[in-house]
Amino acid sequence: MEANMAHGQHWKDEHDIKSGFSNDHASIPINVRAFGQGSNPIAFEFDARKLDYPEFTKTGSLSGSIYREGDRFDLEAQISAEGEFECTRCAETFQERITAPLHLQFVPASLVRDIDDPNVIEYDPLSSQEVDILGDIRDALVLAIPMKHLCRPDCKGVCPVCGKNKNVEACDCIEKEDQSEAWSALNGLRERLRAEEVKQGDRN
């Protein structure tokens, strides 16, 4: 048992060394004690893999300001992360930087008025030097990914007839598709069904 665990640990270490990254204790901490009263600029970059969202593979950034009033902090920032996405129309992979606004308040527990406000993070000013905002950054960025996510606004998609990516290669499948042919196929089906009905009627 012990040997297995040791082996598991060894494999994990090796795995982390290979990928150069571990999400085990990932955090994006804000050191609140570093900010003076009033408005403070804030800007930093982070490894977007910390977000533990497979599409975000590169660098993320935050820039904005923190307003301090006593032990209350008001963070107003723009966040972004570069990711690798699959086009919902042509299924090709493409890179895109997702951006989102982030508005958070760090408030001592005794001063929190609305505990259900998702923008308010409770902290203990006596014991906490840092407030972790990784989860908030992840949520804001994931929500900002469009449902219909195209590699480019005019993506032509994949031809349903020949399967070619029409962004890369044009095909003349649409021209070939004859409307009258489609209708005659439908009429044929209708006739077959009618004949079937007649047969059934004969049997009864």
Residue numbers at the binding site for Zn ion (CB under 5 A):
87, 89-90, 151, 155, 159, 161-162, 171, 173
Backbone angles phi, psi at 200, to 5 degrees: -60, -45
Using CA atoms of 6, 50, 104, 146 in order, give the dihedral in degrees to the nearest 10. Answer: -130
- Residue closer to Zn ion (CB basis): 90 or 102: 90
> Least separation, in Å, of the C-beta of 156 and Zn ion?
8
Distance from C-alpha of 102 to C-alpha of 63, rounded to nearest angstrom: 10
Q: Does residue 96 contact residue 83 with C-beta atoms inside 8 Å?
A: yes
- Residue closer to Zn ion (CB basis): 62 or 155: 155
Q: Does residue 155 contact residue 87 with C-beta atoms inside 8 Å?
A: yes
> Least separation, in Å, of the C-beta of 161 and Zn ion?
4
- Residue closer to Zn ion (CB basis): 120 or 173: 173
- Residue closer to Zn ion (CB basis): 66 or 90: 90
> Least separation, in Å, of the C-beta of 151 and Zn ion?
3
Enumerate helices (H) and strands (E) in the chain, giving the number of each: 4, 7
> Least separation, in Å, of the C-beta of 104 and Zn ion?
34
